[in-house]
Structure formats: C-alpha cells, structure tokens
A and B are shown apart, each in its own frame.
With several copies, the nearest count.
Chain A
Amino acid sequence: MSTMIQAIRMALHVGETKLGVTDIFGEDVGPPLGGVFTGTQGLKTAWNTPLDERGIIGMAIGLALAGQKPVAEIQFCDYAFNTIDLLKIAGNTYWSSGGDWNVPLVVMTPVGAGIRGSIYHSHSFDAMATRIPGWKIVMPSTPRDAYGLLLSAIADPNPVMFLMPKALLRVKDKVGDDIPGAPNDDRVLASMIDAPLGDRTQWTPNWPPLEELYIPIGKARIAREGTSVTVLTYGRNVPMSLVAAEELAAEGIDTEVIDLRSLHPYDWDAIVASVRKTNRVLCVNEDTEITNFGEHLIRRIVEELFYELHAPPKLLAGVHIPGIGLADNLEMASVPQTAGIKAAIAELAAHQP
C-alpha cells in the first residue's frame, strides 16, 4: 500500500537505476526538499533548477536531443503556460526534421483542484496538453497506474507528459492494487523511502526491490463495469465517479466508469465498446468547459456513433471563468463534485429517447 506520490518516487528510482534516466530536475526537486509534494526525495539524479520554466523545458529538450533521458518537473501546471511554444517544439521536432531527431523526454506536473489552491494552484492542463500534437499524455488515478504509466513514459522514445492529479497524490491505495516489489505495509514503506522531517543531510532512502511494471500508453482501464451509462474520465474525477456510481447502484443505475489513463493516444476501442453497450455517455474532467478535451471525445462519439446514442452525450467540466476561487464555496462551484457527477449520471440514465 502506497500513496501516489510514493509510487511516482519509486518509478523515478527505477527510471534512474534501470531505464537510463540521467536527470530529474525542476524547481525544488533536488535536496533538501525533494519536490513540493515529496515526489523526488532521495533520488540520486534529482537537482534544483533556477526559477525559470522556459529554461526547464529547454533543458529537457536539449538533454533529450543529446541522447539523455530527462524527467523535468514544472512545479504546478499553472506555471507551464509561458512554455507552450517550447512544448510545441518538443512535440514537432521529430516531424519538422522529417524523422531526423526524436525527443525522448518526460515532463511531469501536478494538475487540478481539490487542495484549496486558489487561482494559481488549481488549473488543469489536460485540454491544453491535448492541443499539442506530437506528445503522448497520461494521467493516473491510482498509485499503481502512476507507477506503471510513469515507467512507460520513461521508456517511450517520444515526449510524454505525465499529469499528476494533485488531490490524489497523498491518497493511500487500496490493498492488493499495489506496486510490485514494494512492501505492503505502508508504515514500513514510509520508513524506507520518506525523508525525515528536519535535517536530511544524513538520510538516504532504503529502496525496496522494485520490479518493472508497464501500463501501456493508449489503453484505458475499466474502473467499474456497468450497463446503464458510460462515464469517460481520468485523474481526480475517477474516484469521484466511482463513489457516484456506487451510490447510484443502490438506485438500480449500473454505471460503467472508464479511466482513460492516456489522453493521447486515447483508447478509442474501449470507448466504442462501452458506448455500444450503454448508449449513454458522460465526460467528466476539471478543465474549463469551452474547447475542452471532453468535447473532442463527444464530437467523435457523435460523428461515429450517433445512432448508438439513446441520450445526448453530456460534459461535466470546470466552468468557463478566469480562475478557481479560494473560498470553499467558490472552488466547489467551479469544478465537478461527486454530487454533480451523480446527478448527471442519473439524468442520463433516466433520459427517455
């Protein structure tokens, strides 16, 4: 049993010891802090950069061009918006050079709301990321998926963006759904790999004998099977949708929850199979709702599966306003909550064609 942030740390350890990762870097990523969410504690190739996101992404591209395997972190995705041109370059270099130079790098960044992060620690990045061709984009909702997707991201010879749902980073995984090679007891794991509070200069982690696990990029996970309504979602909204689904099960509504895991390439086959079964679709994500990735999914579903639909597909997303306010009332009204997901599923299930 581990948290997602521990799973990420363990994957990075495997990356730097077995998969050739040469540099893990970003603001406060190296000692003493090891990341504002502790994701990079105790890693031997982790180092602190200057406070310059453009330099961080540029550094990652340059290292990748030089045949290294960099993992760069943007401390919060909210601070990646001055680097979109560089992210586009990472995504277009292979294409622009006619296959001459590939750019094997990983960018990881925490995304989304749920920690009362106010205007600049609550942004989402999924809509933006899916607009940048040439990138693969993944987003886990469980520690095990985080571990396996991050290893796949590192192994991939293309630029891969690893979006970390920040509200889930410290949530403990369910027993049995754990990391191969890590101890089951969470206190044991913490004592091995979590840096102590206070002085850390003498501390070194005691890594468990981790095994490689690859969650394929491009494959969704059916988080809950069901027949009434399909929910297409990822990250933080997966556990929310599962809670909503369990509550609705009591009311006789049998929800299928698909955790996309990969936003690009996404698992179209899984989506088609589910829509053919349930005939009703809800897309849930936290990003603002105008020009949203869920709208892409709905557009494609409508274009290709129109006559399979027994209800208009629905999107539940962040409202289209300039920020997420700090006060509870404001944040709750700005991004999907469990009650809203439940209501949307129920409405779809009740819809009479």
Chain B
Amino acid sequence: MSLSSAVLTSVPPAGRFSAEQSLKVYDLMLRTRLLEERLIAMYKQGDGYFWIGGPGEEAFNVPLGILANKGEGVDHDYLHLHYRSSGTLLAMGADPVDSLRQMKNVASDPYSKGRNFAGHFSKRAWNIVPVSSPIEVQFSIAIGTARAQRAGTGAKGITIVQGGDAGTAEGDFATALVWSSRKGNELPMLMIVTNNRFGISTPFAGQHGYEQVSDRGKAFGMPTAVVDGNDPEASYAALAKALEYVRTERKPYLLEAMVSRLRGHSSASGANVAKNEVDCLERFEHTLESRAVMTRAQMESRRAAITAELLEASRHVRDEAPPAPGTIWDYVFTDKNHVGGER
C-alpha cells in the first residue's frame, strides 16, 4: 500500500478527514488540478497534439488512488482506468513529470514511449493496466484479472474498473455485469461509473432509460451506490465501503460517482473552463477554510509552489528527445523472432 493510504486508513467511513488527512487529500487534489492545467497549457503552446484528462474528478479519483492496494500481481488491485485518472495516479505516487512526458510524446514517456495520448497510463509495477482509447473495453477485460483473483484462489487483491457514463451504452458494460455476477462464479470486482452527464457533446438525458446508471446492477443482485464525486469525504467513504465489500465477499459492486467536467471533453472541444459545473477543489477549499484547517494564504502558497514546480518540469521535458523513427519496430513481440519451445 502507498504511504498516503497509511495516513488515511484510520478514517471512519463517511466521517470527516482529520487535519492531517485533509492536507494530504488537498495536496493531491491540487497537484492533480495543476498538472492538468499544465498539460492544457502545453497543448495550447504547441507542446503536444491532444489533451484529455480529469479536471473535475479529483475529489473522487484521489481517494481511489489512496485506497487502492498498490503493487504487482494478483495480491494487489488491478486498475482498469479511464482517461481522466491522473488523480488516481498521483495519489498512488506517480511522478507528474511522466504525464508531461507523455503529453510531449518524448522517448522518456514511461507510459507509452511517445506513442499514446496524454492520460493513457500504464504501469505494470502497480497493476495499472494500459488505458485504451476505445471506450468501455476495459469492462470486458477486467473480468479476466478479476477471475484470477476470485474466491478460492487465495489472491488478496481485487479488480477495479472505471469508465464514463456515456460508455455504459456499449455492450461491454453489460458484459462486466453478466460475467461478474454469475451465481457461484462471482468475481471480486468494483465497477465504477464516473458520471459527468456527458459523452463529448451528448447529454446524459435522452440517452438512457434510467435515472442512475447504477440501477442497472440491481437485476444482477449486486450492491450498488451513487456518491457525490465532488465531495472527497463522501467519495472516500463510499469507496472504502465498496472496497471492503468486494475484498471480503469477493463479489461485484457497482458504484456511480457524480462528477464534473471542468474543461470540457478534451482539447478537441477547446479545453476551456466550463460554466455551471461544481468545482470540487474550490468546494473543498471552502470546507477547509471554514473548518480552519487551512488559510487562503496557505492554499495560495501551495498552489504557487506546485505551479512553479510543474512549469520547471515542463521546461525540462521540452528538451527531451523524441522517440527515433526506428523505434516503431520495438515491442511488437516480446521476442524479435520467438520460436515456440525455446523457453
């Protein structure tokens, strides 16, 4: 488990964070937000071709990263994430500079070697399965890591899979519901829908026959819940409860988090500041201020420090080498010319 999680495991579900915990979560949320802002700035300055990310999901994704059982293999949690998951990554301890590297598609990008878009994480050492652009396929793939961890195997980890609201219209979402809930063959799998009420330009309303996506889990006999994903304490508690259930019962759970989309869908839609959306960071700042956990000035100075740090990092990344053309041939197969039986 990550260091940050040690700090927080003592929080009672649905309870308030302690001062120390608040500072930790705030710092991660702020760092995530500023990282996304730096990525958008890089895009706007021509230091990257495309941006997509998670401004508006920090209050949910940071607790997820804190609570995940980090490590490699079936005794740790597999994470099949969405492309708005920088909060989860940073909470698990990722270095923000690596996101800048992927944005700038330099050779040192550890997630894809300059091949993939920003936000498309991959980290085997932490069981972070590659984020793939095709929507919802992670729900069909997650059943496989979950099977490797099913009851009776002795595996301690579980599988966590996350996607957006619009994506639940794909058959893959149903695949995850069907396969995870087979009677006698249940899978230890937390399914998360981060509902920002949009798929690119298309509003949730008019595309779905239910009020809440999580209702779809009910017919399958699995527990479901909806949480205000703009509230880090509520999110933390809901996640802790869901994770506890899945870890213990080794059965599926469907959690829907209502979140915001603060910079629109992606750079393709401008990445401009959205109107009429709750800003979880602002809200948490108000809370911390009103609880006298932090002052405005402290917040400002934290913001300034991280901003400077990221700017500096992005300057550094700008000078890193692009991948060489010939590297396109790397990693097609694990062997250049593998012949069966030569183990």
Spell out A's residues near B (CB within 8 Å): 22-23, 27-28, 30, 32-33, 36, 48-55, 57-68, 70, 78-79, 82, 85-86, 89, 93-102, 116-121, 133-134, 136, 149, 151-153, 155-158, 212, 214-219, 265, 319, 321-323, 325-330, 332-334
Contacts and interface: CB of A to CB of B under 8 A. Distances in A.
A217 B339 contact: yes
A152 B343 CA distance: 10
Interface of B: 49-50, 73-74, 78, 105-106, 109-117, 120, 122-124, 129-130, 132-137, 139-149, 159, 166-167, 169-172, 175, 178-179, 182, 199-202, 206-208, 268, 322-335, 337-343
Contact of B339 (A28, A86, A118, A219): A219
A223 to B, nearest CB: 20
Given A59-B179, A157-B335, A325-B114, A332 B325 contact: yes
Given A66-B73, A98-B331, A152-B339, 14 more contacts: A50-B166, A51-B136, A54-B170, A59-B140, A95-B331, A98-B113, A116-B49, A120-B133, A156-B338, A325-B114, A327-B322, A329-B323, A330-B327, A330-B328
A334 B167 CA distance: 30
A62 B145 contact: yes
Contacts of B337: 218, 265
B115 A78 contact: no
A100 B106 CA distance: 16
A30 B182 CA distance: 16
Nearest to A52: B169
Contact of B50 (A99, A118, A157, A321): A118
A264 B113 CA distance: 25
Given A70-B144, A100-B124, A323-B115, A134 B332 contact: yes
A146 B298 CA distance: 59
A200 B222 CA distance: 34
Counting chain A CB atoms within 10 Å of each CB, the highest count among B145, B326, B333 belongs to: B333
A65 B137 contact: no
B112 A54 contact: no
Nearest to A97: B122
Given A55-B143, A96-B115, A326-B105, A66 B335 contact: no
B147 A62 contact: yes
B186 to A, nearest CB: 13
Contact of A59 (B147, B169, B171): B147
A36 B170 contact: no
Contact of B144 (A66, A326, A333): A66
Given A50-B182, A326-B105, A326-B115, A66 B110 contact: no
Contacts of B115: 95-96, 98, 118-119, 323, 325-327, 330
17 contacts: A33-B201, A48-B202, A51-B166, A51-B169, A51-B202, A58-B140, A59-B147, A59-B179, A89-B137, A118-B50, A118-B116, A214-B342, A265-B337, A325-B116, A325-B328, A327-B114, A333-B326
B178 A55 contact: yes
B147 A89 contact: no
Kindly list the 4 A-B residue pairs having the minimum CB-CB distance in the complex, ordered from nearest: A62-B144, A152-B340, A214-B341, A58-B140
B148 A54 contact: no
A158 B137 contact: no
Contacts of B343: 155
A131 to B, nearest CB: 15
A218 B322 CA distance: 33
A119 B133 contact: yes
Contacts of B148: 22, 62-63, 66-68
Contacts of A319: 328
Contacts of A116: 49-50
Contacts of A153: 340
A286 B335 CA distance: 26
A321 B135 CA distance: 22
Given A36-B268, A50-B179, A58-B172, A65 B326 contact: no
A68 B153 CA distance: 12
A65 B343 CA distance: 19
Contact of B335 (A70, A101, A158): A158
A61 B333 contact: no
A53 B199 CA distance: 14
A70 B145 CA distance: 11
